[in-house]
Amino acid sequence: MNTSFHFTSAQEITPDIVDVIRRAYQEKSVSIYIQENEPFVPDWQMQEVRRREAYIGNNPTCMHDCDMVISELEKELETV
């Protein structure tokens, strides 16, 4: 039998929860696995990131220096 518990933080694991597990399984063998959850990133977003990475890899000249872009924008705004 497999049972999963999900906690939003380790602080939610109280002695009461451990006692409930002890009572439920008594003399049975149990294994406890800890899995740290990674932040959820939707598949479509990961695909878009990979697509952009591939594009940049094939077109390295498309990359812009952030400082240069901001400087150019500031100059354009000054003329408005």
Residue 6's CB: how many other CB atoms inside 10 A? 7
CA dihedral 72, 74, 79, 80 (to 10 degrees): 120
Q: What's the pLDDT score for residue 23?
A: 92
Residue 33 is predicted with a pLDDT of 86
Encode the chain (80 residues) as per-residue pLDDT tens digits: 778 888 888 899 999 999 999 999 999 999 888 888 777 888 899 899 999 889 888 888 777 777 888 888 898 898 87
- The whole-model pTM stands at 0.41
Please give the pLDDT value at position 12. 92
